[in-house]
Amino acid sequence: MVTKSLAGAAAIHEHLTEQKALFSAQRFHDVAYHHAPEVTFMTFRVSETLQASGEQREQRGIESYTFRDGRLATKDVYRKPVKL
């Protein structure tokens, strides 16, 4: 299991730069939002192609978001590989 915590714009920018170097393609499919009073969830499927090997993989995932004072407070992402 990989755990990563990003705090602030610089850390988010660095993460996105790493993702662009790692994947030659990354596409989200079947995105659906589910709203509850204190949390919002997004379910999805993502298809990725690794830059170095050309390997294709697919994952299903869920993201949870909480908000405070009208701004994003937390975002957690959970993914599980799907066999192709």
Is 61 domain-assigned? yes
Tell me which residue range forms the domain holding 76. 24-82
Q: What is the CATH number of the domain that holds 73?
A: 3.10.450.50
In this structure, what is the dihedral angle of CA atoms 66, 17, 52, 62, given to the nearest 10 degrees? 10
Residue 30 has what pLDDT?
95
Tell me the per-residue pLDDT of 45-77, one tens digit each, with 9 for 90 and over. Answer: 999 998 889 889 999 999 999 999 988 888 888
Is 28 domain-assigned? yes
Token pair 């988010």: residue: 12
Residue 3 has what pLDDT?
67
| Mean pLDDT, residues 11-26 taken together | 80
Q: Looking at residue 22, what DSSP letter applies?
A: H
Of residues 84 and 16, more confidently modeled: 16
Residue 21 has what pLDDT?
79
Q: Is the overall model pTM greater than 0.85, yes or no?
A: no
Is 36 domain-assigned? yes
* Contacts of residue 71, Cβ cutoff 8 Å, sequence gap at least 6: none
Considering its fold, how many domains does the chain have in total? 1
| H/E stretch holding 33 | strand 23-35
Is 14 domain-assigned? no
Is 50 domain-assigned? yes
